[in-house]
Structure 1
Amino acid sequence: MAGISRRDRFELPEPMRRFFEGDWDVSSFRVEEYRDGATMVVRAELPSIDPEKDLDVTVSEGMLRIRGERRETEEHKSRDGYRTEFKYGSFTRDIPLPAGATQDDVSASYRDGVLEVRVPLQESGSSGRKVPVNRV
Protein backbone atom coordinates (compact mmCIF):
# COMPACT_ATOMS: atom_id res chain seq x y z
CA MET A 1 0.00 0.00 0.00
CA ALA A 2 2.05 2.84 -1.28
CA GLY A 3 1.42 6.28 0.22
CA ILE A 4 -0.48 5.10 3.34
CA SER A 5 1.39 5.36 6.59
CA ARG A 6 0.76 3.14 9.55
CA ARG A 7 -0.76 6.09 11.46
CA ASP A 8 -3.30 6.77 8.68
CA ARG A 9 -4.61 3.21 8.77
CA PHE A 10 -5.23 3.25 12.55
CA GLU A 11 -6.65 6.75 13.07
CA LEU A 12 -9.55 6.66 15.54
CA PRO A 13 -12.87 8.36 14.76
CA GLU A 14 -13.24 11.73 16.49
CA PRO A 15 -15.66 10.60 19.27
CA MET A 16 -13.40 7.67 20.18
CA ARG A 17 -10.29 9.85 20.14
CA ARG A 18 -11.95 12.36 22.49
CA PHE A 19 -13.04 9.53 24.80
CA PHE A 20 -9.55 8.07 25.11
CA GLU A 21 -7.90 11.47 25.42
CA GLY A 22 -10.19 12.36 28.32
CA ASP A 23 -12.04 15.45 27.11
CA TRP A 24 -15.25 13.66 26.12
CA ASP A 25 -17.26 15.26 28.92
CA VAL A 26 -16.34 18.77 27.79
CA SER A 27 -17.00 18.47 24.07
CA SER A 28 -20.43 16.88 24.01
CA PHE A 29 -23.71 17.41 25.77
CA ARG A 30 -27.04 15.67 25.97
CA VAL A 31 -30.11 16.93 24.15
CA GLU A 32 -33.75 15.99 23.91
CA GLU A 33 -36.03 16.88 21.02
CA TYR A 34 -39.81 16.82 20.96
CA ARG A 35 -42.75 18.48 19.30
CA ASP A 36 -45.05 20.78 21.26
CA GLY A 37 -47.99 21.51 18.95
CA ALA A 38 -46.62 23.47 15.99
CA THR A 39 -43.22 23.97 17.65
CA MET A 40 -40.09 21.83 17.76
CA VAL A 41 -38.44 22.02 21.17
CA VAL A 42 -34.77 21.20 21.72
CA ARG A 43 -33.47 21.09 25.27
CA ALA A 44 -29.74 20.84 25.94
CA GLU A 45 -28.07 20.10 29.25
CA LEU A 46 -25.37 22.76 29.62
CA PRO A 47 -24.46 23.33 33.28
CA SER A 48 -21.86 25.92 34.35
CA ILE A 49 -22.34 28.07 31.25
CA ASP A 50 -22.82 31.82 31.09
CA PRO A 51 -25.29 31.98 28.18
CA GLU A 52 -24.59 35.65 27.48
CA LYS A 53 -20.83 35.13 27.10
CA ASP A 54 -20.28 31.46 26.27
CA LEU A 55 -23.20 30.37 24.06
CA ASP A 56 -24.12 30.91 20.40
CA VAL A 57 -27.33 29.48 18.92
CA THR A 58 -28.02 29.79 15.17
CA VAL A 59 -30.56 28.42 12.70
CA SER A 60 -29.56 28.19 9.05
CA GLU A 61 -30.45 26.01 6.06
CA GLY A 62 -32.48 23.47 8.04
CA MET A 63 -29.94 23.08 10.84
CA LEU A 64 -29.90 24.23 14.46
CA ARG A 65 -26.35 24.81 15.68
CA ILE A 66 -25.50 25.10 19.36
CA ARG A 67 -21.95 26.28 19.92
CA GLY A 68 -20.27 27.36 23.10
CA GLU A 69 -17.37 27.27 25.46
CA ARG A 70 -17.20 25.80 28.93
CA ARG A 71 -15.04 27.29 31.66
CA GLU A 72 -15.38 25.39 34.89
CA THR A 73 -13.08 25.39 37.91
CA GLU A 74 -13.08 23.05 40.90
CA GLU A 75 -11.09 23.91 43.98
CA HIS A 76 -10.11 21.46 46.68
CA LYS A 77 -8.60 22.86 49.87
CA SER A 78 -7.32 20.74 52.70
CA ARG A 79 -4.76 21.04 55.45
CA ASP A 80 -2.34 19.01 53.30
CA GLY A 81 -2.53 21.30 50.29
CA TYR A 82 -4.55 22.95 47.61
CA ARG A 83 -5.64 21.59 44.25
CA THR A 84 -7.50 23.21 41.40
CA GLU A 85 -8.97 21.39 38.39
CA PHE A 86 -9.90 23.30 35.29
CA LYS A 87 -12.35 21.96 32.70
CA TYR A 88 -12.66 24.06 29.63
CA GLY A 89 -13.11 23.70 25.93
CA SER A 90 -15.41 24.49 23.07
CA PHE A 91 -18.31 22.38 21.87
CA THR A 92 -20.63 22.34 18.86
CA ARG A 93 -23.69 20.31 18.05
CA ASP A 94 -25.71 20.43 14.83
CA ILE A 95 -29.31 19.25 15.00
CA PRO A 96 -31.25 18.75 11.74
CA LEU A 97 -34.62 20.46 11.73
CA PRO A 98 -37.73 18.79 10.32
CA ALA A 99 -39.44 19.89 7.12
CA GLY A 100 -41.53 22.99 7.73
CA ALA A 101 -39.15 24.50 10.31
CA THR A 102 -38.82 28.26 9.97
CA GLN A 103 -35.98 30.55 10.91
CA ASP A 104 -38.43 33.28 11.92
CA ASP A 105 -39.46 33.62 15.56
CA VAL A 106 -36.98 31.06 16.91
CA SER A 107 -36.52 31.63 20.64
CA ALA A 108 -34.00 30.40 23.18
CA SER A 109 -33.93 30.51 26.96
CA TYR A 110 -31.52 29.25 29.62
CA ARG A 111 -32.52 28.23 33.12
CA ASP A 112 -30.91 26.02 35.77
CA GLY A 113 -28.27 24.66 33.38
CA VAL A 114 -30.71 23.81 30.59
CA LEU A 115 -30.90 25.59 27.24
CA GLU A 116 -34.31 25.43 25.55
CA VAL A 117 -34.71 26.37 21.88
CA ARG A 118 -38.18 26.61 20.34
CA VAL A 119 -38.46 26.46 16.54
CA PRO A 120 -41.87 27.16 14.91
CA LEU A 121 -43.05 24.63 12.33
CA GLN A 122 -45.28 25.57 9.42
CA GLU A 123 -48.10 23.16 8.83
CA SER A 124 -48.59 22.35 5.20
CA GLY A 125 -52.14 22.71 3.92
CA SER A 126 -52.16 19.22 2.49
CA SER A 127 -50.16 16.06 2.83
CA GLY A 128 -48.85 16.39 -0.72
CA ARG A 129 -49.92 16.63 -4.31
CA LYS A 130 -51.20 13.64 -6.20
CA VAL A 131 -49.20 13.01 -9.31
CA PRO A 132 -51.22 11.54 -12.17
CA VAL A 133 -49.75 8.53 -13.93
CA ASN A 134 -50.21 8.57 -17.69
CA ARG A 135 -50.35 5.39 -19.70
CA VAL A 136 -48.07 5.61 -22.71
Structure 2
Amino acid sequence: MTNLTLLTRRDPFASFDSVLLRRGFGPAQKDAFVPAAEIVRDGTDAVVRVELPGVDITKDVTVELTNGRLVIHGERRDERAEDSSVYRLREVRYGSFRRSFTVPRHVTAEALSADYSDGVLTVRVSGAFSDDEPKRIAINGATAEPATES
Protein backbone atom coordinates (compact mmCIF):
# COMPACT_ATOMS: atom_id res chain seq x y z
CA MET A 1 0.00 0.00 0.00
CA THR A 2 1.34 3.44 -0.92
CA ASN A 3 1.16 6.29 1.54
CA LEU A 4 0.30 9.47 -0.39
CA THR A 5 0.92 12.87 1.07
CA LEU A 6 -0.89 15.80 -0.46
CA LEU A 7 0.76 19.19 -0.32
CA THR A 8 -1.58 22.12 -0.56
CA ARG A 9 -1.04 25.83 -0.46
CA ARG A 10 -2.46 27.49 2.63
CA ASP A 11 -5.79 29.07 1.78
CA PRO A 12 -6.04 32.59 3.25
CA PHE A 13 -9.79 32.02 3.46
CA ALA A 14 -9.57 28.77 5.41
CA SER A 15 -12.19 28.76 8.12
CA PHE A 16 -11.05 27.78 11.59
CA ASP A 17 -14.48 26.35 12.43
CA SER A 18 -14.48 24.36 9.17
CA VAL A 19 -11.09 22.84 10.02
CA LEU A 20 -12.38 21.77 13.43
CA LEU A 21 -15.49 20.19 11.92
CA ARG A 22 -13.43 18.26 9.35
CA ARG A 23 -11.29 16.88 12.14
CA GLY A 24 -14.31 15.61 14.05
CA PHE A 25 -14.71 18.39 16.59
CA GLY A 26 -18.36 19.25 16.11
CA PRO A 27 -20.32 22.09 17.62
CA ALA A 28 -20.83 22.07 21.37
CA GLN A 29 -24.56 21.45 20.95
CA LYS A 30 -25.61 18.35 19.11
CA ASP A 31 -28.43 20.24 17.37
CA ALA A 32 -26.35 23.33 16.49
CA PHE A 33 -26.94 24.92 13.12
CA VAL A 34 -23.80 25.15 10.97
CA PRO A 35 -24.67 26.44 7.49
CA ALA A 36 -22.75 25.02 4.55
CA ALA A 37 -20.27 27.42 2.93
CA GLU A 38 -18.02 27.54 -0.10
CA ILE A 39 -15.38 29.98 -1.28
CA VAL A 40 -14.50 30.38 -4.94
CA ARG A 41 -12.06 32.62 -6.76
CA ASP A 42 -13.45 34.98 -9.41
CA GLY A 43 -10.49 36.79 -10.95
CA THR A 44 -8.90 38.72 -8.09
CA ASP A 45 -12.09 38.51 -6.00
CA ALA A 46 -13.11 35.85 -3.51
CA VAL A 47 -16.78 34.90 -3.42
CA VAL A 48 -18.12 33.35 -0.21
CA ARG A 49 -21.47 31.57 -0.47
CA VAL A 50 -23.34 30.45 2.64
CA GLU A 51 -26.56 28.40 2.49
CA LEU A 52 -29.17 30.10 4.68
CA PRO A 53 -32.61 28.94 3.55
CA GLY A 54 -35.42 29.79 5.92
CA VAL A 55 -33.50 32.60 7.59
CA ASP A 56 -34.86 36.15 7.82
CA ILE A 57 -31.78 37.78 6.37
CA THR A 58 -32.76 41.35 7.30
CA LYS A 59 -33.48 40.64 10.97
CA ASP A 60 -31.36 37.63 11.84
CA VAL A 61 -28.04 37.79 9.93
CA THR A 62 -24.99 40.04 10.34
CA VAL A 63 -21.92 40.22 8.11
CA GLU A 64 -18.86 41.88 9.68
CA LEU A 65 -15.18 42.39 9.06
CA THR A 66 -13.32 42.35 12.36
CA ASN A 67 -9.64 41.76 13.17
CA GLY A 68 -8.86 40.29 9.74
CA ARG A 69 -11.86 37.93 9.82
CA LEU A 70 -15.03 37.88 7.74
CA VAL A 71 -17.69 36.88 10.28
CA ILE A 72 -21.20 35.80 9.32
CA HIS A 73 -23.48 35.14 12.25
CA GLY A 74 -27.16 34.98 12.98
CA GLU A 75 -30.00 32.68 13.85
CA ARG A 76 -32.51 30.42 12.13
CA ARG A 77 -35.71 30.62 14.16
CA ASP A 78 -38.38 27.95 14.41
CA GLU A 79 -41.60 29.95 14.39
CA ARG A 80 -43.91 26.94 14.48
CA ALA A 81 -45.75 26.02 17.67
CA GLU A 82 -44.65 22.70 19.17
CA ASP A 83 -47.24 19.98 19.72
CA SER A 84 -45.68 17.19 21.77
CA SER A 85 -48.46 14.76 20.83
CA VAL A 86 -47.38 14.76 17.18
CA TYR A 87 -44.49 12.53 16.19
CA ARG A 88 -42.36 13.78 13.36
CA LEU A 89 -38.94 13.56 11.82
CA ARG A 90 -36.89 16.71 12.28
CA GLU A 91 -33.70 17.11 10.25
CA VAL A 92 -33.77 20.89 9.84
CA ARG A 93 -31.52 22.59 12.38
CA TYR A 94 -32.49 25.78 14.16
CA GLY A 95 -30.58 28.11 16.43
CA SER A 96 -27.65 30.48 16.35
CA PHE A 97 -24.77 30.07 13.93
CA ARG A 98 -21.41 31.69 13.31
CA ARG A 99 -19.02 31.19 10.39
CA SER A 100 -15.65 32.92 10.37
CA PHE A 101 -13.08 33.19 7.57
CA THR A 102 -9.61 34.74 7.59
CA VAL A 103 -9.16 37.42 4.93
CA PRO A 104 -5.90 38.90 3.59
CA ARG A 105 -4.51 41.86 5.57
CA HIS A 106 -5.12 44.40 2.81
CA VAL A 107 -8.90 43.75 2.70
CA THR A 108 -11.06 46.54 4.16
CA ALA A 109 -14.80 46.70 4.83
CA GLU A 110 -15.20 48.75 1.64
CA ALA A 111 -14.06 45.69 -0.35
CA LEU A 112 -17.04 43.65 0.87
CA SER A 113 -20.49 43.45 -0.67
CA ALA A 114 -23.30 41.05 0.25
CA ASP A 115 -26.39 39.80 -1.58
CA TYR A 116 -29.06 37.27 -0.68
CA SER A 117 -31.05 35.27 -3.22
CA ASP A 118 -32.77 31.87 -3.26
CA GLY A 119 -31.60 31.00 0.27
CA VAL A 120 -27.92 31.72 -0.41
CA LEU A 121 -25.96 34.62 1.10
CA THR A 122 -23.16 35.70 -1.25
CA VAL A 123 -20.34 37.89 0.04
CA ARG A 124 -17.88 39.23 -2.54
CA VAL A 125 -14.43 40.23 -1.27
CA SER A 126 -13.11 42.52 -4.01
CA GLY A 127 -9.37 42.32 -4.64
CA ALA A 128 -8.82 39.51 -2.14
CA PHE A 129 -6.31 37.86 -4.46
CA SER A 130 -4.76 41.04 -5.88
CA ASP A 131 -1.61 40.52 -3.81
CA ASP A 132 -1.37 36.87 -4.81
CA GLU A 133 1.61 37.26 -7.14
CA PRO A 134 5.06 36.80 -5.59
CA LYS A 135 7.13 39.96 -5.32
CA ARG A 136 10.91 39.90 -5.60
CA ILE A 137 12.71 41.51 -2.69
CA ALA A 138 16.13 43.12 -3.19
CA ILE A 139 18.88 41.84 -0.92
CA ASN A 140 20.89 44.67 0.62
CA GLY A 141 24.66 44.32 0.65
CA ALA A 142 24.72 41.78 -2.14
CA THR A 143 26.82 42.72 -5.16
CA ALA A 144 26.79 40.89 -8.38
CA GLU A 145 30.24 39.53 -9.09
CA PRO A 146 31.05 38.12 -12.48
CA ALA A 147 31.56 34.38 -12.58
CA THR A 148 35.19 33.38 -13.02
CA GLU A 149 36.19 30.54 -15.23
CA SER A 150 38.77 28.04 -14.00
In structure 2, the CA distance between the partners of 1:87 and 1:99, relative to structure 1 (3 Å rule), is: closer
Instruction: Work out the CA distance in 2 between the residues paired with 1:106 and 1:16.
Output: 27
Aligned to 1:70: 76
From the two aligned structures, give the one with the greater helix fraction.
Answer: 1
- Tell me, yes or no, if structure 1 residue 106 matches structure 2 residue 117: no
Give the C-alpha shift of residue 88 in structure 1: 3.2
- State, as a whole percentage, how many aligned pairs show the same letter: 35
Instruction: Work out the CA distance in 2 between the residues paired with 1:133 and 1:66.
Output: 44
Question: Contact conserved, 2:111 with 2:127, CA < 8 A, in 1?
Answer: no
What secondary structure sits across from 1:107 in the alignment? strand
Give the C-alpha shift of residue 99 in structure 1: 4.7
Aligned to 1:43: 49
* Uncovered stretches (5+) of structure 1, i.e. residues with no partner: 1-12
Q: Which runs of 4+ in 1 moved over 4 A?
A: 73-77, 81-87
Q: Which of 13, 19, 23 pairs up with 2:31?
A: 23
CA root-mean-square deviation? 3.3
**TM-score, normalised to structure 2's length?**
0.61
Residue identity matched to 2:58: E
Encode CA deviations 1:84-136: one digit per residue, 9 max, x unaligned: 87953111111111354332141111111100000111634x7324131537x
Instruction: Work out the CA distance in 1 between the residues paired with 2:28 and 2:111.
Output: 38
Aligned to 1:131: 138
Instruction: Work out the CA distance in 2 between the residues paired with 1:63 and 1:89.
Output: 22
Q: Which of 116, 125, 133 pairs up with 1:119?
A: 125
In structure 2, the CA distance between the partners of 1:100 and 1:35, relative to structure 1 (3 Å rule), is: farther
Aligned to 1:58: 64
From the two aligned structures, give the one with the greater strand fraction.
Answer: 1
Aligned to 2:103: 97
> Looking at both structures, which has the greater relative contact order when contacts are Cα pairs under 8 Å and sequence separation is at least 6?
2
Residue identity matched to 2:26: P
* Uncovered stretches (5+) of structure 2, i.e. residues with no partner: 1-23, 143-150
